[in-house]
Chain A
Amino acid sequence: MEQFTPIASLWGGILIGLSASFLLLSDGKIAGISGIMGGLLRPVKNDTAWRILFILGLITGGLLFQFLSPDVFTTGISRSIGALILAGLLVGFGTRLGSGCTSGHGVCGISRFSPPSLVSMVTFIVTGATTVYIINHLLGGAL
Protein backbone atom coordinates (compact mmCIF):
# COMPACT_ATOMS: atom_id res chain seq x y z
CA MET A 1 0.00 0.00 0.00
CA GLU A 2 1.07 3.56 -0.60
CA GLN A 3 1.81 5.88 2.30
CA PHE A 4 -1.41 6.16 4.33
CA THR A 5 -2.22 9.77 5.25
CA PRO A 6 -5.93 9.80 6.10
CA ILE A 7 -5.79 12.84 8.40
CA ALA A 8 -4.08 15.11 5.86
CA SER A 9 -6.43 13.82 3.19
CA LEU A 10 -9.46 14.45 5.38
CA TRP A 11 -8.30 18.00 6.15
CA GLY A 12 -7.72 18.62 2.46
CA GLY A 13 -11.25 17.43 1.77
CA ILE A 14 -12.72 19.60 4.54
CA LEU A 15 -11.00 22.67 3.07
CA ILE A 16 -12.43 21.84 -0.36
CA GLY A 17 -15.88 21.50 1.20
CA LEU A 18 -15.46 24.81 3.05
CA SER A 19 -14.33 26.55 -0.13
CA ALA A 20 -17.32 25.26 -2.09
CA SER A 21 -19.60 26.35 0.77
CA PHE A 22 -18.05 29.81 0.95
CA LEU A 23 -18.46 30.35 -2.80
CA LEU A 24 -22.10 29.31 -2.50
CA LEU A 25 -22.72 31.56 0.51
CA SER A 26 -20.98 34.61 -0.95
CA ASP A 27 -21.71 34.40 -4.68
CA GLY A 28 -24.40 31.73 -4.93
CA LYS A 29 -22.19 29.72 -7.29
CA ILE A 30 -21.24 26.08 -7.56
CA ALA A 31 -17.51 25.35 -7.27
CA GLY A 32 -17.30 23.20 -10.38
CA ILE A 33 -13.96 23.90 -11.99
CA SER A 34 -14.80 22.73 -15.51
CA GLY A 35 -18.03 24.75 -15.47
CA ILE A 36 -16.23 27.83 -14.16
CA MET A 37 -13.62 27.55 -16.95
CA GLY A 38 -16.11 26.66 -19.65
CA GLY A 39 -18.15 29.75 -18.85
CA LEU A 40 -15.14 31.87 -19.77
CA LEU A 41 -14.98 30.44 -23.28
CA ARG A 42 -18.45 31.80 -24.03
CA PRO A 43 -18.51 34.85 -21.78
CA VAL A 44 -21.82 36.15 -20.51
CA LYS A 45 -22.02 39.74 -19.30
CA ASN A 46 -21.57 40.18 -15.51
CA ASP A 47 -20.75 36.49 -15.16
CA THR A 48 -17.04 36.61 -15.87
CA ALA A 49 -15.18 38.38 -13.08
CA TRP A 50 -15.89 35.80 -10.35
CA ARG A 51 -14.77 33.01 -12.69
CA ILE A 52 -11.45 34.68 -13.48
CA LEU A 53 -10.85 35.50 -9.81
CA PHE A 54 -11.66 31.98 -8.65
CA ILE A 55 -9.15 30.58 -11.15
CA LEU A 56 -6.56 33.19 -10.14
CA GLY A 57 -7.21 32.09 -6.56
CA LEU A 58 -6.48 28.47 -7.52
CA ILE A 59 -3.19 29.48 -9.13
CA THR A 60 -2.30 31.72 -6.17
CA GLY A 61 -2.92 28.82 -3.79
CA GLY A 62 -0.68 26.72 -6.03
CA LEU A 63 2.05 29.37 -5.87
CA LEU A 64 1.98 29.26 -2.06
CA PHE A 65 2.85 25.59 -2.25
CA GLN A 66 5.38 26.11 -5.01
CA PHE A 67 7.29 28.37 -2.60
CA LEU A 68 6.66 26.56 0.69
CA SER A 69 6.26 22.89 -0.20
CA PRO A 70 6.84 22.11 -3.90
CA ASP A 71 6.69 18.36 -3.14
CA VAL A 72 2.92 18.54 -3.59
CA PHE A 73 3.57 18.84 -7.33
CA THR A 74 5.46 15.55 -7.62
CA THR A 75 4.22 13.94 -10.82
CA GLY A 76 5.36 10.40 -10.08
CA ILE A 77 4.06 8.81 -13.27
CA SER A 78 5.53 8.86 -16.73
CA ARG A 79 3.37 9.93 -19.64
CA SER A 80 4.40 10.96 -23.12
CA ILE A 81 3.51 14.33 -24.57
CA GLY A 82 1.03 12.60 -26.87
CA ALA A 83 -0.71 10.93 -23.93
CA LEU A 84 -0.91 14.24 -22.07
CA ILE A 85 -2.41 16.02 -25.07
CA LEU A 86 -4.96 13.27 -25.61
CA ALA A 87 -5.81 13.27 -21.89
CA GLY A 88 -6.23 17.04 -21.84
CA LEU A 89 -8.52 16.99 -24.87
CA LEU A 90 -10.63 14.20 -23.34
CA VAL A 91 -10.88 15.92 -19.95
CA GLY A 92 -11.74 19.29 -21.52
CA PHE A 93 -14.32 18.00 -23.97
CA GLY A 94 -15.70 15.32 -21.64
CA THR A 95 -16.24 17.56 -18.63
CA ARG A 96 -18.10 20.12 -20.75
CA LEU A 97 -20.22 17.49 -22.51
CA GLY A 98 -20.94 15.80 -19.17
CA SER A 99 -21.59 19.14 -17.40
CA GLY A 100 -19.00 18.70 -14.68
CA CYS A 101 -15.92 17.09 -13.23
CA THR A 102 -14.67 15.79 -9.90
CA SER A 103 -15.51 19.06 -8.16
CA GLY A 104 -18.88 19.92 -9.71
CA HIS A 105 -20.34 16.40 -9.79
CA GLY A 106 -18.09 14.61 -7.31
CA VAL A 107 -18.16 17.15 -4.48
CA CYS A 108 -20.96 19.66 -5.05
CA GLY A 109 -23.44 17.37 -6.81
CA ILE A 110 -23.02 14.45 -4.43
CA SER A 111 -23.43 16.86 -1.49
CA ARG A 112 -26.81 17.88 -2.91
CA PHE A 113 -27.70 14.19 -3.44
CA SER A 114 -28.11 14.90 -7.16
CA PRO A 115 -28.80 11.65 -9.08
CA PRO A 116 -27.11 12.81 -12.33
CA SER A 117 -23.97 13.71 -10.37
CA LEU A 118 -23.90 10.32 -8.68
CA VAL A 119 -24.24 8.56 -12.04
CA SER A 120 -21.56 10.80 -13.53
CA MET A 121 -19.11 10.16 -10.70
CA VAL A 122 -19.56 6.40 -10.77
CA THR A 123 -19.06 6.49 -14.55
CA PHE A 124 -15.85 8.54 -14.53
CA ILE A 125 -14.36 6.52 -11.68
CA VAL A 126 -15.11 3.29 -13.55
CA THR A 127 -13.63 4.51 -16.85
CA GLY A 128 -10.71 6.12 -15.00
CA ALA A 129 -10.00 2.88 -13.14
CA THR A 130 -10.29 0.88 -16.36
CA THR A 131 -7.80 3.20 -18.06
CA VAL A 132 -5.35 2.91 -15.15
CA TYR A 133 -5.80 -0.88 -15.16
CA ILE A 134 -4.90 -1.02 -18.84
CA ILE A 135 -1.87 1.24 -18.40
CA ASN A 136 -0.51 -0.32 -15.20
CA HIS A 137 -1.31 -3.97 -15.74
CA LEU A 138 -1.38 -4.46 -19.50
CA LEU A 139 1.02 -1.80 -20.78
CA GLY A 140 3.65 -1.90 -18.04
CA GLY A 141 2.88 1.37 -16.22
CA ALA A 142 3.96 4.01 -18.73
CA LEU A 143 2.37 5.50 -21.80
Chain B
Amino acid sequence: MNSALAAFASGVIFAIGLAIGGMTQPAKVAGFLDFTGNWDPNLRFVMGGAVMTHAILYRVIRQRPTPLFTAAFSVPTRKDIDAGLLGGAVLFGIGWGLSGFCPGPAIVSLASGKMPVVIFVVAMIVGMYLYALVNTFWTRSETTPRNEPFPRLASPSNPALREPQDT
Protein backbone atom coordinates (compact mmCIF):
# COMPACT_ATOMS: atom_id res chain seq x y z
CA MET B 1 0.00 0.00 0.00
CA ASN B 2 1.19 3.51 -0.73
CA SER B 3 -0.30 6.97 -0.52
CA ALA B 4 -1.87 6.87 -3.99
CA LEU B 5 -3.48 3.48 -3.48
CA ALA B 6 -4.75 4.55 -0.07
CA ALA B 7 -6.33 7.65 -1.60
CA PHE B 8 -8.04 5.46 -4.20
CA ALA B 9 -9.36 3.10 -1.53
CA SER B 10 -10.61 6.05 0.53
CA GLY B 11 -12.46 7.35 -2.52
CA VAL B 12 -14.15 4.00 -3.12
CA ILE B 13 -15.26 3.68 0.52
CA PHE B 14 -16.45 7.29 0.55
CA ALA B 15 -18.55 6.67 -2.56
CA ILE B 16 -20.11 3.53 -1.08
CA GLY B 17 -20.98 5.47 2.07
CA LEU B 18 -22.59 8.29 0.10
CA ALA B 19 -24.60 5.88 -2.04
CA ILE B 20 -25.81 3.73 0.88
CA GLY B 21 -26.64 6.88 2.81
CA GLY B 22 -28.87 8.20 0.03
CA MET B 23 -26.74 11.26 -0.72
CA THR B 24 -26.65 10.44 -4.44
CA GLN B 25 -30.44 10.92 -4.67
CA PRO B 26 -31.18 14.63 -5.12
CA ALA B 27 -34.81 14.11 -4.08
CA LYS B 28 -33.64 12.81 -0.68
CA VAL B 29 -31.28 15.74 -0.22
CA ALA B 30 -33.98 18.21 -1.18
CA GLY B 31 -36.33 16.30 1.16
CA PHE B 32 -33.84 16.70 4.00
CA LEU B 33 -33.64 20.44 3.32
CA ASP B 34 -37.44 20.78 3.19
CA PHE B 35 -37.99 21.37 6.90
CA THR B 36 -41.43 22.87 6.48
CA GLY B 37 -42.76 20.22 4.08
CA ASN B 38 -42.36 16.50 3.68
CA TRP B 39 -39.16 16.36 5.74
CA ASP B 40 -36.84 13.40 5.16
CA PRO B 41 -34.81 12.86 8.36
CA ASN B 42 -32.53 10.15 6.97
CA LEU B 43 -29.60 12.36 6.03
CA ARG B 44 -29.31 13.44 9.62
CA PHE B 45 -28.18 9.88 10.35
CA VAL B 46 -25.63 9.98 7.53
CA MET B 47 -24.11 13.15 8.91
CA GLY B 48 -24.37 11.85 12.48
CA GLY B 49 -22.72 8.53 11.67
CA ALA B 50 -19.91 10.20 9.74
CA VAL B 51 -19.16 12.80 12.42
CA MET B 52 -19.40 10.29 15.27
CA THR B 53 -16.95 7.93 13.57
CA HIS B 54 -14.50 10.55 12.39
CA ALA B 55 -14.58 12.58 15.62
CA ILE B 56 -13.32 9.55 17.54
CA LEU B 57 -10.84 8.26 14.97
CA TYR B 58 -9.50 11.76 14.23
CA ARG B 59 -8.32 12.04 17.82
CA VAL B 60 -6.78 8.59 17.82
CA ILE B 61 -4.98 9.16 14.51
CA ARG B 62 -3.61 12.56 15.55
CA GLN B 63 -1.73 10.84 18.38
CA ARG B 64 0.68 9.68 15.69
CA PRO B 65 3.58 11.97 14.79
CA THR B 66 3.06 11.42 11.05
CA PRO B 67 0.64 9.69 8.69
CA LEU B 68 1.58 6.24 7.37
CA PHE B 69 2.69 7.18 3.85
CA THR B 70 3.44 10.91 3.86
CA ALA B 71 5.73 13.19 5.87
CA ALA B 72 3.14 15.27 7.71
CA PHE B 73 -0.53 15.85 8.41
CA SER B 74 -2.02 18.71 6.45
CA VAL B 75 -4.99 19.73 8.53
CA PRO B 76 -6.47 23.24 8.39
CA THR B 77 -5.92 25.30 11.50
CA ARG B 78 -7.79 28.48 10.66
CA LYS B 79 -10.08 29.81 13.34
CA ASP B 80 -11.26 33.01 11.68
CA ILE B 81 -14.69 33.38 10.17
CA ASP B 82 -14.44 35.86 7.32
CA ALA B 83 -16.71 37.16 4.58
CA GLY B 84 -15.38 34.59 2.11
CA LEU B 85 -16.28 31.69 4.38
CA LEU B 86 -19.80 33.02 4.92
CA GLY B 87 -20.42 34.22 1.36
CA GLY B 88 -19.12 30.95 -0.04
CA ALA B 89 -21.40 28.94 2.23
CA VAL B 90 -24.39 31.08 1.19
CA LEU B 91 -23.71 30.50 -2.53
CA PHE B 92 -23.01 26.80 -2.02
CA GLY B 93 -26.22 26.35 -0.02
CA ILE B 94 -28.31 27.94 -2.78
CA GLY B 95 -26.74 25.68 -5.41
CA TRP B 96 -27.16 22.65 -3.14
CA GLY B 97 -30.84 23.36 -2.56
CA LEU B 98 -31.38 24.12 -6.23
CA SER B 99 -29.91 20.84 -7.49
CA GLY B 100 -29.82 18.44 -4.54
CA PHE B 101 -26.14 17.85 -5.36
CA CYS B 102 -23.07 18.68 -3.35
CA PRO B 103 -19.61 17.96 -4.80
CA GLY B 104 -18.96 14.40 -3.52
CA PRO B 105 -22.28 12.82 -4.45
CA ALA B 106 -22.20 14.61 -7.82
CA ILE B 107 -18.83 13.07 -8.69
CA VAL B 108 -20.00 9.62 -7.57
CA SER B 109 -23.19 10.01 -9.63
CA LEU B 110 -21.17 10.65 -12.77
CA ALA B 111 -20.97 6.85 -12.90
CA SER B 112 -24.67 6.79 -13.78
CA GLY B 113 -23.99 8.75 -16.96
CA LYS B 114 -27.21 10.69 -16.43
CA MET B 115 -27.33 14.02 -18.24
CA PRO B 116 -28.43 16.22 -15.28
CA VAL B 117 -25.45 15.23 -13.15
CA VAL B 118 -23.01 15.54 -16.05
CA ILE B 119 -24.27 19.08 -16.72
CA PHE B 120 -24.04 19.89 -13.01
CA VAL B 121 -20.47 18.61 -12.66
CA VAL B 122 -19.23 20.47 -15.74
CA ALA B 123 -20.77 23.70 -14.41
CA MET B 124 -19.29 23.00 -10.95
CA ILE B 125 -15.79 22.62 -12.40
CA VAL B 126 -16.29 25.86 -14.35
CA GLY B 127 -17.39 27.54 -11.09
CA MET B 128 -14.26 26.28 -9.31
CA TYR B 129 -12.12 27.47 -12.20
CA LEU B 130 -13.77 30.92 -12.12
CA TYR B 131 -12.92 31.12 -8.43
CA ALA B 132 -9.30 30.21 -9.17
CA LEU B 133 -9.15 33.00 -11.77
CA VAL B 134 -10.73 35.59 -9.49
CA ASN B 135 -8.53 34.50 -6.61
CA THR B 136 -5.38 34.79 -8.71
CA PHE B 137 -6.41 38.30 -9.72
CA TRP B 138 -7.07 39.34 -6.10
CA THR B 139 -3.87 37.81 -4.82
CA ARG B 140 -1.86 39.45 -7.57
CA SER B 141 -3.29 42.91 -7.03
CA GLU B 142 -2.85 42.72 -3.27
CA THR B 143 0.44 41.04 -2.61
CA THR B 144 2.63 40.87 -5.68
CA PRO B 145 5.57 43.26 -5.63
CA ARG B 146 5.80 45.50 -8.68
CA ASN B 147 8.77 43.78 -10.24
CA GLU B 148 7.17 40.36 -9.98
CA PRO B 149 4.78 39.93 -12.87
CA PHE B 150 3.27 36.64 -11.73
CA PRO B 151 2.20 35.51 -8.28
CA ARG B 152 4.52 32.98 -6.78
CA LEU B 153 3.25 29.43 -6.88
CA ALA B 154 1.84 28.05 -3.70
CA SER B 155 4.19 25.41 -2.42
CA PRO B 156 3.74 22.79 0.28
CA SER B 157 7.38 23.24 1.28
CA ASN B 158 6.95 26.93 1.86
CA PRO B 159 4.07 27.45 4.28
CA ALA B 160 4.34 31.22 4.03
CA LEU B 161 3.26 31.08 0.42
CA ARG B 162 0.54 28.58 0.90
CA GLU B 163 -3.02 29.47 0.07
CA PRO B 164 -5.58 29.50 2.86
CA GLN B 165 -6.11 25.84 3.59
CA ASP B 166 -9.27 24.11 2.65
CA THR B 167 -11.03 21.97 5.12
Contact = CB atoms under 8 A, between A and B. Distances in A.
Interface string A56-70: 111111111110011
A128 B94 CA distance: 5
A114 to B, nearest CB: 7
Contacts of A111: 50-51, 54-55, 58
A58 B128 contact: no
A80 B58 CA distance: 40
A2 to B, nearest CB: 4
Given A61-B13, A98-B89, A91 B50 contact: no
Nearest to B52: A17
Contact of A59 (B1, B23, B37, B110): B110
Given A26-B6, A72-B25, A86-B98, A98 B54 contact: no
Query: Would you call the interface of chain B mostly helix, strand, loop, or mixed?
Result: helix
Contact of B92 (A25, A79, A95): A95
A126 to B, nearest CB: 7
A15 B92 contact: no
B96 A12 contact: no
- Residue with the highest number of chain A CB atoms closer than 10 Å, among B35, B79, B95, B111: B95
Interface string A1-32: 11111101111111111111111111111111
B22 A5 contact: yes
Contacts of A39: 166
Contacts of A132: 30, 33-34, 97
Interface in A58-104: 58-66, 69-70, 72-77, 79, 81, 83-104
A136 B114 CA distance: 23
A16 B55 CA distance: 12
- Residue with the highest number of chain A CB atoms closer than 10 Å, among B49, B102, B156: B49
B75 interface: yes
A23 B12 contact: no
7 nearest A-B pairs in the assembled complex, by CB-CB distance: A57-B11, A98-B88, A92-B127, A13-B49, A12-B21, A61-B15, A88-B123
Interface of A: 1-6, 8-35, 37-39, 41-42, 44-47, 49-51, 53-66, 69-70, 72-77, 79, 81, 83-117, 119-121, 123-133, 135-137, 143
Given A19-B11, A64-B15, A64-B16, 12 more contacts: A11-B17, A26-B69, A27-B68, A72-B22, A75-B27, A77-B30, A85-B120, A93-B130, A96-B88, A105-B89, A128-B93, A135-B97
